[in-house]
Amino acid sequence: METKVRSTDKAEDTGVVRRCDVMILGSGLAGSITAMCLAKQGVKVALVDAGQHPRFAVGESMTPQLIEWLQILRARFDVPELEYLFDIKATSKHIGPHHGKKQSFGFIRQVPGQEPDPREATMFVIPKLLTEASHLFRQETDQYYFHVAAKYGCITRQNWRAVDLDFDDDGVTITGHNGEVFRAKYLIDASGFRSPLAEKFGLREQPARFKHHSRSLFTHYVGIKPFDDVCHHPRSLRPPAPWHGGTLHHMIDRGWFWIIPFDNFKDSTNPVCSVGLTFDPRKYPKPTDMTPEEEFHHYLDMYPSAKRQFVGARRVREWVSTDRLQYSSSRSVGYRWCLMSHAAGFIDPLFSRGLSNTFEIVYALVSRLLPALRDDDFSVERFEYVDTLERGLLQYNDDLVNSSFIAFNHFRLWNAVFRVWAAFLTPGVMRLTRARLNYALDGDERHFAELENNAYPGLWWPESAEFKNILEITAETCEKYEVGELDGDAAADIIFGMLNNCDLVNPVFGWKDPEDTRFVLPTTQMMAKFMYWANRKAPQEMQELGRALLTGVFKAGIRGRKVL
């Protein structure tokens, strides 16, 4: 709807103003999916992007937790197109045959000039029962969801850069570089690092408040060879699932290379592979006398087995070479505005938590924004939880990633940190599945609201004080190793000891068996044993999760619903 502005409106001078309820800057997955959720609920949304689809984006590797959040958004806001992201088959069928599969997180320790020791490797294979996740070819997914947002009635603009944001008591006036003016009740900035809102309100903390330091070099290649084909490890010491079946991390001292193939799913016609190097600029300062390509190969050349993956490979787009990746903001919500996750702050791509964190924020924001729009009340207190959650997500991720970077040069210590991350993923996902199944049964939003009723927002199992304690002691222990107060084995022993003594760590997957179970592959039989343990033997808080989940699966199954 186009309207002449009222004389009281600050945009009066510009003539025609387009009115909407919510304006979203940035049409990456965060912006477009938020726009879809709002529009499907009757909100008038304008979705603008400074660039144009299709466009390159990172954020390619998915996690089970991300898929659960997408399932929750799909169920709660009734946006069926999100189902196409639930598994690689659906993504390939409905969005296009250009995505890879994300069967596993594989980590192999690399030492300069040496072949990697096959015993210095870990892998977590995502249980098939949970999901068959994807490596998203973002230029395609992002374009698709931008179009779906338009289909739901959003006003869309590409190559549209906001040059002025003007807030007053009644709303916000947004002026584009072409003079076009929008008037909205609420502004969501999903534009990422260069957020105009963060700039306008001077929200960026200088320096970022995090411990962790990394910078990154990344691009896309064709012709990358599967690591399985170029490593010299005997079959008996290889993981039970191929390295090339998921996201491969070559861990180096205070850094890691990523290999994210899009050609590893049977229906994929895409020969492209995403590659990158993320490393600590305090150890590896950005050079002034090398191109990003030269710099990348300078480091790649040090690791012969990783280098073999690149023999005959060709780069298909320009390198991106960043400065320090970490940034933070003093606040992520204010009166009539929100800095969406990636605009508010960032830690590191390690563990692929970016999109999952983003969609946890999308849920928290949209579930508050809908009643705020109904009540015409945008008081900041209503949105305070979004800010608290954002802080928690970043803080716990900082602990985990900083510990990992410290541990990369000592395999036993890495093996311990790996377990702290992975052993608590399962309950972190189960609590989301439980809420979703209960919602499917009775349609009561309370099940999702209860997810927010926890002591430690942002922790991946936010109800568990014991897990929080383990994560914090892990961070402290790694930092002691970093400054030489502990040697690596002593630090690893402390963390292994905590995991062994923790009854919440399930005994079925091998988390308590670091020497013999470096590759964790939960088979369907193991999942059944795990459910038995979680329902019968585990401590109270795990039993509550296990029982509620099993009941939900059972009831949904009786009603013929697809549950997992």
Ligand X SMILES: Cc1cc2nc3c(=O)[nH]c(=O)nc-3n(C[C@H](O)[C@H](O)[C@H](O)COP(=O)(O)OP(=O)(O)OC[C@H]3O[C@@H](n4cnc5c(N)ncnc54)[C@H](O)[C@@H]3O)c2cc1C
Give the residues lining the site for ligand X (CB under 6 A): 25-31, 48-51, 57-61, 161-162, 190-192, 194, 196, 216, 218, 276, 325, 340, 342, 349, 352, 354-355, 358
Which lies closer to ligand X via its Cβ, residue 276 or residue 552? 276
Three-state DSSP at 317 gives coil
Nearest to 452 by CA among 363, 541, 542: 363
Omega within 30 of 0 (cis) for the link into 507: no
Which lies closer to ligand X via its Cβ, residue 199 or residue 485? 199
> Whole-number minimum distance, CB 117 to ligand X, in Å?
26
Which lies closer to ligand X via its Cβ, residue 171 or residue 246? 246
> Whole-number minimum distance, CB 146 to ligand X, in Å?
9
> Whole-number minimum distance, CB 58 to ligand X, in Å?
4
One-letter amino acid for residue 324 of the chain = R
> Whole-number minimum distance, CB 536 to ligand X, in Å?
35
Indicate the pairing of strand 104-109 with strand 2-4.
unpaired
> Whole-number minimum distance, CB 155 to ligand X, in Å?
14
Which lies closer to ligand X via its Cβ, residue 28 or residue 458? 28
> Whole-number minimum distance, CB 467 to ligand X, in Å?
21
- Distances, alpha carbon 513 to alpha carbons 428, 507, 510, 520, in Å: 21, 9, 5, 10
Nearest to 352 by CA among 50, 62, 39: 62
Give 100's contacts (C-beta < 8 A, 6+ positions apart). 88, 134, 135, 137, 260, 261, 262, 263, 264, 265, 268, 270
Residue whose Cβ sits closest to ligand X: 28
> Whole-number minimum distance, CB 312 to ligand X, in Å?
25
> Whole-number minimum distance, CB 489 to ligand X, in Å?
31
Which lies closer to ligand X via its Cβ, residue 131 or residue 438? 131
> Whole-number minimum distance, CB 355 to ligand X, in Å?
3
The total number of residues written for the chain in this structure: 564
Beta partners for residue 274, in sequence order: 220, 260
Helix intervals (H) in 424-539: 425-442, 446-451, 465-482, 488-501, 524-532
One-letter amino acid for residue 18 of the chain = R
Which lies closer to ligand X via its Cβ, residue 161 or residue 297? 161
Count of CB atoms situated within 10 Å of the CB of 4: 10
Indicate the pairing of strand 155-157 with strand 45-48.
parallel
Q: What is the CA radius of gyration of the chain?
A: 23
Sign of CA dihedral 253, 254, 257, 260: positive
Which lies closer to ligand X via its Cβ, residue 18 or residue 410? 18
Which lies closer to ligand X via its Cβ, residue 173 or residue 216? 216
8 Å CB contact between 370 and 77: no
Which lies closer to ligand X via its Cβ, residue 145 or residue 530? 145
